[in-house]
Amino acid sequence: MAKVQDQPTVKPKLALYWASSCGGCDIAVLAIQEKILDVAAAFDLVLWPCVMDFKKRDIEALADGEIDVCLFNGAIRNADNEEWAHLLRRKSKTLVAYGSCAVEGGIPGLANFTDRQQVTQFVYHDSPSTVNPAGVEPQTLTLVDEGELTLPEFWTTVQTLDQVVPVDYYLPGCPPEAKWTIAAVEAILGGKLPAPGSVIGMDVTVCDECQRKRSEKSIKHFYRPYEIIPDPEVCLLEQGLFCAGIATRAGCGALCPQVNMGCRGCYGPNEGVVDGGARLISAIASVLDADTPEAIDAILDTLPDPAGYFYRFSLPGSLMRRARLARDNGHRAAVLVTDSTRLDPHLAE
Amino acid sequence: MPKRDYSLDNPAWGTRRPVIVGFLCNWCSYRAADLAGISRMGYPSTLRDIRIMCTGRLDPTFVIKALREGADGALVMGCHPGQCHYDAGNYKAMRRMALLRRTLAQFGVHPDRIQLAWASAAQGTLFTETVFKMTNAIARLGPLEWHDTIDELVPRAPAMPSAETLVEEASHG
Amino acid sequence: MSQSRQYAYYPGCSMRATAHAYDRTARRVSEMLDLSLQEIEDWNCCGATEYMSISALQAYSLVARNLSLAATQNATDLVSPCSACYLNLRKTNDNMKKYPDLNDQVNQALAAGGISYTPGALRVRHLLDVIVEDVGFDAVAALVKQPLKGMKVAPYYGCLIVRPSVDGYDTEYPTHLDKLMQTLGAGVVDFPLKTHCCGGHMTQISEETAFELIRRILHNAADYGADAIVTLCPMCQLNLDAYQPQVNAMFGTRFNIPILFFTQLMGLAFGLTFDEAEIGSEIIPALAALGKIGQESPEQVAPKRRDKKALPMPIP
Amino acid sequence: MDEKIGVYVCHCGHNIAGTVDVEGLSKWASTLPDVAVARDYRFMCSSLGQELVEKDIKELGLTRVVVAACSPHMHEPTFRRACERAGLNRYLFEMANIREHASWVHQHSIESATDKAKSLVSGAVRRVKELKPLEPFMVDINPTTLVVGGGIAGINAALEIANAGHAVYLLEREPSIGGHMAQFDKTFPTLDCAACILTPKMFDVGNHPNITLMTYSEVEQVDGYVGNFKVRVRQKARKINTDLCTGCGDCWEKCPAKVVDQVYEAGLGYRTAIYRPFPQAVPKYPVIDMESCIYYQKGTCKACEKFCPTGAIDFEQEDKVLELNVGNIVLATGYELFDPRRISPYGYGRLANVFTSLEFERMLNASGPTGGKVILRDGETQPKSVAIVHCVGSRDKNHNVYCSATCCMAALKFGHLVKERTGAEVYSFYIDIRTSAKNYEEFYHRLLDEGMNFVRGRVAEITDAARQPGEEGKLVVQVEDTLLGKQRRIPVDMVILMGAMEPRRDAVDTAHRFGIGCSEAGFFTEKHPKLDPVATMTDGVFIAGACQGPKDIPDSVGQGAAAAARVLTLIGQGRVEIEPVRANIDEARCSGCRICNNLCPYGAIDFIEEPGVSRVNPALCKGCGTCVAACPSQIITGQHFTFESIMAQIEGVLFDVRAGNGQSHTVEQLPLEPA
C-alpha cells in the first residue's frame, strides 16, 4: 500500500460513475473498508454520484484528461449512459470498466433477449405489479405548462462500456471482490499498471479456486437447486446442479460453490475466450450421458432456459450479443421461436 | 440445374441466395463431398465448407460465429454414429448441437438453421441430398439477418441489397 | 390382462353375409382374449378389391369415411378381420399420409359430409396380427381347454394380408398363423401355397382361371394330407368352400376339404361347442375333419427316424 | 506480423477451368489482404506447377502458400513437399478444394462455381495466415507384423513378409488356418485340386521360423499407431496341451459326442466334440468344443483323456490373453456366405434338397461327408437333374446390390462336376453370366459345349407343390425365362443356391476395433479405390482379400502379396512421420475441471492429481480435437486446427456477406423506428 507521505502534493483526480447498474458496485468500493481512507487521502474525488452531489457541468468544466482514474460501473442502456461514457472517456486518463455490467453487460444485459417495445410493454402495462390505468408510457419529450420535460432515449440493445468508448482496464465481478479493487488502486497509485486493455484479475477458471472434489464427469440429469441437497464435498456439476464455474474467470474465491450454489458466471468468460456461453454449451453437452437424440433431449429437458444460464452476465459482451430482431413487417422485434428444437432422430440413423 | 430464384421461396431473399457454412469431418463427410464431386453430382452452391478433423472438434463458437458473420445457416456433417474415425466424436457433436439448437432458439434463431447430418465416405448421394434439404429449409426460412441488427452502420458488401430494400421486399412480399 | 384393450372394429360386408361365422367367432374369441372391439358406428363398404382400380379418389374417400368415423371412437387401433377391408383401410391410411395431394382431395370430399381424417391418426391392423402381437401365443395357449390334437390344418393366408408387406412378418412365407394353430394343438402342414391367390372375384369373370387357382390350393392341401384349410379371409373361405364342388366337377377331382376361419378353431380350442363356433355354416362339412381331434395321428405313434446315411438338414 | 501469401489457382486442364473463371479468380485473389502473389496454371500438381511455387517462395519470400485445386486428400502431400523443398514449413500450406467442391458440383453455372471458389480461396487465405509451423513426429517402425485371418490372402501376406526375414504373427479365429479355400474341392477355371495347392502353403506357415501361428484366437483390443501398435489377443483354450499332443487322432475316434459341423463341413457333415477340422489342418492339434462336449455338459465322460497316449488333454486349460507389439497390421478376415433362409421362397431349410454353394463344395470334396459323391439329402439317391440358382442375395435390392463376382464361375464349375460325376441335366438360372478374367470366358464356352442349360431369369420360387404331372416328388423351379418371355416351371431333384459373399457379421466391430472404415455393405474401405486398394485411412493397417470386397482366389492372393509389399516398404523405411495434428494443454492455465478427461477415445488425457491439471499424451493423441472444443477455459490447443485458424476461415468463406468486416463496435440503436 502506497504510504501516505509519498502522496503527491497535487492529488490525482478520481471519478466513480454508475451507468445502468444496481449500485452494488459503489458499495463494493466501500467494501475495501478502512483502505477507503487511503483512497480518500490519496485521491481527489471529483465524481461519485452515489455518495456526493456533483453536477455534470462540473465534469464538463474539467480539461480533457484531467481525471486521472475513472471507475465506471453499469452498462450502457440509454442515451444518458452513453453521453456520460463519452464525457468521462474524454475527461479521464485511465478509464476502468468496473464490475460485470460495464465489462460484459451484466444483468441489465439480459434485456438483449427482448427489445425496447417488449420491455416497455411489460414494465408499463403487463407486469402484475403495474397500476397504470391511463396507459402512460415515458416519452423523451413531454410538454408541460412549465416547459419541456426530457428523458434520455431508451435503447433496444444494452451495450458494454467498451462497445461505446475505448476502455483501458477491466475489473469484472458482480460486484468485484475488494481485493481486486485494492489491487487496482495500488497499481494505479504505485504507477505499475498492466498493459492497457488487460483485465485486472486471473486467467484461470473458478474450478481453480473451488475446494470441491472433482472427478470425470457424466451428467444424467440436471436439478434445480431446490430439488436436491448437494453433497458439500463433490463438484456441483457432477451432481447435476448447473455451475458456470468451469468456464468462468476465477477471482471471487469460488464464493457461490462454497455455499452449495452453482457459479452464476459473474466474472465472465476466461481470458481469451470469445463467447463464454459457447464454452459452457460445448463443455456441458460433451459430458451428457446419452448417445441418441431422444436420450440427449430427455436430459436437456431438465435444463430450462439454457441461454439464461449460459449468458446470465455476459450477453452484450458475447458473440451472441443480443436476440435476433426480425425484419419482417418493417418494424423489428425480438423473435420468439416456438418450433421444436429437438434433434431429428433420423439424423442418428 | 437451372439457376434458382430463392425469392420464390421467400421474398426476403431478393436477388440473394442462402449462405450455409458447412463443417465437414475429414474422414467421412468431407470425403463424401469429394465423392459427390468425383461423380459430378450437382448441388446448390449455397454450402461453403470448412474441413475439421472430426465433428468432435466442432466448437459451438464456430456456428455462432458463422451465423453472426452473415451465414443463414450452418450444417455440421460427420461419420454415422458408431462409425466415427475417432470412435465417438460425432456423439459429442450430437450432444452439443442439441444444446446449441435450444440455446439459439432463445435468440430467435430457428433450429432448422443449424443442422447435424451424417454421411459416410461412400455416400456422395446422401451428402448431395443433405445439401439440397438444408438449402430448401433455409430458403423457406429466409435470410437470418442477425448481424445487421448490430453492424448495420457499416456498409454491406456491394453484392448485397441494403437492409431497407429487404424491408420493402418483405412488406411487399 | 388387467383391463381389456380397446379397438375400433370394422367388420365389413362379408361379415354380414357369407362370413357371419367369422364375425361371430371373431367377436366371441376376442371377448375371451379380453380384447374389446367397438364396432364403428354407421360404417360403409370398403369398396372391395375393384373400386380402387376404377376410381381411386372415390374409392379412397369411401374408405376414408370409415377411418374418420373410427377416429372419433376412443381407440388408437382399427381392427378388421377381413383381408380385403384391412388392405383398403391400410392402403388409404398409408397413402393419405404419403401423398399430401391425395390427403387434401380426400379430406375435401369428406368435408362435404362434415367430417375429416388425419392420416396416421389410427393404426390399421388385421385381427390375426392383433391376436399374435397384442395377445401373444402364451396368453392364447393359456386359454386352450381342448387342444386340437390329431387334426392337421393347412394355414392359408391368402394374397391380401401380405400386401403391402406387414412389418415384422415374412411376407413371402409368413408363419404366424402356423404358430397360432400349433399353439391350439393342431397339426400344421408346411403349406407352400399359403400366400397364393384364391381367384378372388375371378370366379365372376372367368371360371376357368379362378377354378384352376382354387384347384391348385385344394390339391396342394390334399397332397400334404391336411384335414382342413384354415383361413383368415372371407373371400378365400368363400372361394375354396363354395366352389369346391364345381372345381371337382371341372377337373374330375374329389376334393372334400372343409375351409374354416382361424377364429372358429380358436373357439373350439377354447372350449366352445360346435354351434358356438358356428361349425355347420360351411358348405363342405367340417365334422369329419373335426372328428379327428383327440385321436392320435399315425406320425405321433411312430415318429420317423432319420436314415443313418442321410445328410444333416440345415438348422431351420 | 505481416505475411506474404502466395495463391495458386489450378486449371486442372478443363476440370476446373471449364466451370470456374480461373484467371478472374487469381486476379481477385491477388487483391486479398496479405496476398503477395496470385497465379493460375494449367496443372499445379505437375513438376512445373510445383516449381512455380518453389520459385516464388525463394524469390518473393512467401511465408504462406495456398493452392486452389483438388481435394487435399489428393494433393496436399504433393504441395507440402514442394513448400518444404523451398524451405517453407509444410504446415504453412493450405489447400482450397475448388475442384471436387466447386467446379465439379456447380457445373450448371460458371458464376456460382466461381463464387463458391472465391469463398473457399478466401477462407483458405484467412486460415493459412493463422497457421503455425509444426514439426512432424518421427516414430520407429516395429518390424513385427500382425496378420489377422488365416485364409489364402492372410497366408500369402504372412509368407511374403516372413520370407523377407521379418517376424509375423498370423492370427486365426478357427482351430486351423486354411479358410474357405480349404473347404473346396476344385478351383475354377483350371479345376486343379484346392487342397493340393493350398496345403503346402499351410505347411510352410506352420513351420516358418519367422511366423508365430496363433489359431483359435481373436483380437480384443488395438491401441497405438503406425509402427507401434499394442494388440490384445485372446487365445481360446483348446483344452489340449499342444506340447504333448502328437495329433494321432485317438481322441476324436473315441469321442462319443457327434455334432453337425457348421463351420468346416458347412452343416453337411458331422464331427466329434473333440475334433480337428480336417486332416491337413495346421496346426495338427485337435480342440474341444465345450458346447458339445459331454464332460462339460454332463460332468462325466473324459473318453478322450482315457485314450490319449500322451496325456495331452487338459480340461482345466484356460483362455490366454496376450499383448502383442507390432508395427503393422494386415486384415484378411474374409467373407461369410449369404444365409439363403433370408429368401424364404427358395425353401432352404424347409426343402431337403435345396443346398447352399458351400454345402455343395463339401459334397464335391473327396474328403467331404459324401466322399465326393453328388447325392440328395437322403444320402443315397443320385440326382437326375440339378438346378443352380445364381445371384442368391447378390444383385438384389432386398439384400445386396453388389455382384459377388465369384458365383458365376463357381456355378460353371459345379455344372461341370455334376455332369462329370452324375451325368445329370444341369440348369443354370442366371441374370448375366460374368466371367471376366483370364480363361474364364473360355470355361463358360466349355460348359455350353458340355450341354449345361442356361435359363436367363431370376428364380421366383422353389416349391415341392406339384401342380401338373411330372412335378410330383420333385422340386419345381418357377422362373420367368426372359429370353423366351415365358413363365417356366422346371422340375429338378436338387437345387444349389449360389449365395452372395457377405462381410463377416462382425465386420463393423472389427473395422471399429482397428480404426478403419466400412462400406455400407460392411466391407472394409480401402484408402483409394484405384490407387491404394490395400491401404486404409489408418496408417499401418492394411486389408487383403474378401474382407475388402467379393474376390476369387487369385485376386485374394494378389492382394495378400500387395499388402505384404506395403508393410515391407514401411519396415524398410524404419521410421515414419506422423502428423503433429495434436491437442496440447496449457497446464499453467488448466483449472482441473476435468471436463475433458473422459472425452478422449484414446485415453490420451491423464489427470495429474498434483497440481491438479490434465495432460495430453501426444503419442496416444490422434488429433480429433474433441477435448479442444470441449475445454470450458479454452486452454487446450488443437494444433493445425486452432480456434483462431478456424474462426479466421469462417470469416474468410463469408467474405461477401460479412457485416462490418470484424469491426462490430458500433451498435445500431432503434429509437427512430415507427412507434
The whole-chain average pLDDT of chain C stands at 91
C107 in the same domain as C15: yes
D326 in the same domain as D178: yes
Task: Find which of A116, A150, A204, A309 to mutate to test the D interface (most D CBs within 10 Å of its CB).
Answer: A204
Lowest mean per-residue pLDDT among A72-76, A195-199, B17-21, B28-32: A195-199
D263 — contact with chain C (CB < 8 Å)?
no
In a domain, C244, yes or no: yes
φ/ψ bin of C252: left (φ > 0), alpha (ψ from -120 to 50), beta (otherwise): left
Distance CA C68, CA C43 (A): 10
A346's CB contacts (< 8 A; 6+ apart) are none
How distant is the Cα of C217 from the closest Cα of chain D, in angstroms? 9
pLDDT in tens, B140-155: 999 988 865 443 322 2
Long-range contacts (CB closer than 8 Å, 24 or more residues apart) made by A28-35: A28/A99, A28/A173, A28/A175, A28/A176, A28/A177, A28/A178, A28/A181, A29/A71, A29/A181, A31/A175, A31/A178, A31/A181, A32/A178, A32/A181, A32/A182, A32/A185, A33/A178, A35/A1, A35/A182, A35/A185
Residue D53 contacts residue D86 (beta carbons within 8 Å):
yes
Which among D641, D654, D666 has CB closest to B53? D641
In chain A, what are the domain boundaries? 4-105+160-190, 114-155, 202-349
In a domain, C136, yes or no: no
Task: For residue B95, list chain A residues with Cβ-Cβ distance below 8 A.
Answer: 285-286, 288, 290, 296
Distance CA D378, CA D513 (A): 44
Residue A49 contacts residue A18 (beta carbons within 8 Å):
yes
Burial of A57 (0-12, 13-18, 19+ CB in 10 A): exposed
D95 in the same domain as D56: yes
Q: Which residue of A has its CA nearest to B58?
A: A282
What part of A 152-181 touches D (C-beta under 8 Å)? 153-157, 159, 162-164
C102 in the same domain as C162: no
User: D593 vs A214: CB contact, 8 Å cut-off?
Assistant: yes
Predicted confidence at residue A5, as pLDDT, reads 52
What CATH number should be reported for the domain holding residue D80?
3.40.50
Predicted confidence at residue C299, as pLDDT, reads 56
Which CATH number fits the domain A4-105+160-190, given the four candidates 3.30.750.24, 3.40.50.700, 3.40.640.10, 3.40.50.720? 3.40.50.700
In chain B, what are the domain boundaries? 16-145
D160 in the same domain as D284: no
3-state DSSP assignment of residue A303: coil
C199 in the same domain as C122: no
The whole-chain average pLDDT of chain D stands at 93
Task: For residue C190, list chain D residues with Cβ-Cβ distance below 8 A.
Answer: 350
Whether chains D and C touch (3+ CB pairs under 8 A) is answered by: yes
3-state DSSP assignment of residue C78: strand
C148 in the same domain as C291: yes
Which residues lie across from C35 on neighbouring strands?
Answer: C5
Set of cell numbers at residue C288: 369329419
Residue B87 has pLDDT above 50, yes or no: yes
C71 in the same domain as C151: no
Predicted confidence at residue D674, as pLDDT, reads 32
Burial of A292 (0-12, 13-18, 19+ CB in 10 A): middle
User: A324 vs B109: CB contact, 8 Å cut-off?
Assistant: yes
What CATH number should be reported for the domain holding residue C74?
1.20.1050.140
User: B153 vs D625: CB contact, 8 Å cut-off?
Assistant: no
In a domain, D124, yes or no: yes
Task: For residue B68, list chain A residues with Cβ-Cβ distance below 8 A.
Answer: 319-321
Cell 427358395, residue located? D346
Task: Count helices and strands (H / E) in chain B.
Answer: 6, 4
Q: How confident is the model at residue D420 (pLDDT cuts 50, 70, 90)?
A: very high
How distant is the Cα of C313 from the closest Cα of chain D, in angstroms? 7
Angle at the Cα of A251 from the Cα atoms of A247 and A255, rounded to 5 degrees: 85
Burial of D164 (0-12, 13-18, 19+ CB in 10 A): middle
D544 in the same domain as D402: no
In a domain, D540, yes or no: yes
Higher pLDDT, A327 or D127: D127
Predicted confidence at residue B161, as pLDDT, reads 31
Output DSSP code: residue D69. Answer: E
Task: For residue B52, list chain A residues with Cβ-Cβ distance below 8 A.
Answer: none
C264 in the same domain as C157: yes
Count of structural domains within chain D: 5
- List the CATH code of the domain at B16-145: 3.40.50.960
Q: Give the CA-trace dihedral at B156, B162, B164, B168, to 10 degrees.
A: -150
What part of B 83-122 touches A (C-beta under 8 Å)? 88, 91-92, 94-103, 105-112, 115-118
How distant is the Cα of A247 from the closest Cα of chain D, in angstroms? 5
pLDDT in tens, D191-241: 999 999 999 999 999 999 999 999 999 999 998 889 999 999 999 999 999
What CATH number should be reported for the domain holding residue C253?
3.40.50.11810
Predicted confidence at residue A184, as pLDDT, reads 87
Instruction: Give the count of beta carbons closer than 10 Å to the beta carbon of residue B28.
Output: 29
Higher pLDDT, A64 or B150: A64
Which residues lie across from C198 on neighbouring strands?
Answer: none
Q: What is the mean pLDDT of residues A175-193?
A: 86
Predicted confidence at residue C52, as pLDDT, reads 85
Distance CA C10, CA C44 (A): 9
C85 in the same domain as C151: no
D604 in the same domain as D484: no
Identity (one letter) of the amino acid at D341? R
Domain span at D162: 145-233+321-334+504-575
Count of structural domains within chain C: 2
In a domain, C70, yes or no: yes
Classify the C-alpha dihedral C251-C257-C258-C262 as positive or negative: negative
φ/ψ bin of D87: left (φ > 0), alpha (ψ from -120 to 50), beta (otherwise): left
Q: Which residue of C has its CA nearest to D472?
A: C223
Task: Find which of B94, B102, B118 to mutate to test the A interface (most A CBs within 10 Å of its CB).
Answer: B102
D268 — contact with chain C (CB < 8 Å)?
yes
Q: Which residue of C has its CA nearest to D355?
A: C314
Instruction: Give the count of beta carbons closer than 10 Å to the beta carbon of residue C225.
Output: 12
Distance CA A125, CA A117 (A): 11
Q: H or E stretch including D223?
A: strand D217-225
Taking the model in full, what pTM does it have?
0.75
In a domain, D566, yes or no: yes
Task: Find which of D270, D271, D344, D398 to mutate to test the C interface (most C CBs within 10 Å of its CB).
Answer: D344
Q: Which residue of D has its CA nearest to C305?
A: D378
Q: Which residue of A has its CA nearest to B119?
A: A347
Cell 442515451, residue located? A79
Residue D8 contacts residue D41 (beta carbons within 8 Å):
yes
D633 — contact with chain A (CB < 8 Å)?
yes
Size of interface C-D (CB pairs under 8 A): 57
Size of interface B-D (CB pairs under 8 A): 194
Please report how many Cα atoms fall inside a 13 Å half-sphere around the Cα of residue C191, on the Cβ side: 35
Output DSSP code: residue C252. Answer: T
A273 — contact with chain D (CB < 8 Å)?
yes
3-state DSSP assignment of residue C130: helix
Q: What are phi and psi of D386, to 5 degrees?
A: -130, 135
What CATH number should be reported for the domain holding residue D419?
3.50.50.60
D105 — contact with chain B (CB < 8 Å)?
yes
What part of D 549-608 touches A (C-beta under 8 Å)? 589-595, 597-599
Chains with ≥3 Cβ pairs under 8 A against C? Answer: D
Q: H or E stretch including C156?
A: strand C152-156
Distance CA C180, CA B132 (A): 48
User: D632 vs A282: CB contact, 8 Å cut-off?
Assistant: yes
D634 — contact with chain A (CB < 8 Å)?
yes
Burial of A258 (0-12, 13-18, 19+ CB in 10 A): middle
User: D653 vs B48: CB contact, 8 Å cut-off?
Assistant: yes
C160 in the same domain as C263: yes
Distance CA C184, CA C270 (A): 9
Instruction: Give the count of beta carbons closer than 10 Å to the beta carbon of residue C85.
Output: 29
pLDDT in tens, D227-286: 999 999 999 999 999 999 999 999 999 999 999 999 999 999 999 999 999 999 999 999
Identity (one letter) of the amino acid at D628? V
φ/ψ bin of D31: left (φ > 0), alpha (ψ from -120 to 50), beta (otherwise): alpha
Task: Find which of D343, D376, D398, D464 to mutate to test the C interface (most C CBs within 10 Å of its CB).
Answer: D464
Residue C37 contacts residue C75 (beta carbons within 8 Å):
no
How distant is the Cα of B27 from the closest Cα of chain A, in angstroms? 17
Most confident of A195-204, A275-284, B86-95, C66-75: A275-284
Angle at the Cα of A15 from the Cα atoms of A9 and A17, rounded to 5 degrees: 170
Which among D349, D356, D370 has CB closest to C316? D349
C167 in the same domain as C70: no
pLDDT in tens, D558-578: 999 999 999 999 999 999 988
Q: Which residue of D has its CA nearest to A215?
A: D594
A221 — contact with chain D (CB < 8 Å)?
no
Distance CA D186, CA D361 (A): 9
D344 in the same domain as D330: no
C72 in the same domain as C39: yes
Distance CA D147, CA D167 (A): 11
Distance CA A32, CA D242 (A): 83
Domain span at C10: 5-127
pLDDT in tens, D108-155: 889 999 999 999 999 999 999 999 999 988 889 999 999 999 999 999
Size of interface A-D (CB pairs under 8 A): 96
How big, in percent rounded to 5, are the helix, strand and coil portions of chain D?
A: 30, 25, 45
Q: Which among C274, C246, C247, C271 has a CA at the least distance from the CA of C260? A: C274
Residue A106 contacts residue A50 (beta carbons within 8 Å):
no
Q: What is the ipTM of this complex?
A: 0.71
In a domain, D126, yes or no: yes
D475, D502, D529 - which closes a domain: D502
Q: How confident is the model at residue A327 (pLDDT cuts 50, 70, 90)?
A: low
**What residue spans of chain C are helical by DSSP H?**
20-32, 51-54, 56-72, 83-98, 100-112, 127-129, 137-143, 176-183, 202-205, 207-223, 234-242, 244-251, 262-269, 287-291, 298-301
Q: Which residue of C has its CA nearest to D464?
A: C192
Output DSSP code: residue A126. Answer: I
How big, in percent rounded to 5, are the helix, strand and coil portions of chain B?
A: 45, 15, 40
D423 — contact with chain C (CB < 8 Å)?
no
Identity (one letter) of the amino acid at A129? S
Burial of C280 (0-12, 13-18, 19+ CB in 10 A): exposed
Predicted confidence at residue D119, as pLDDT, reads 97
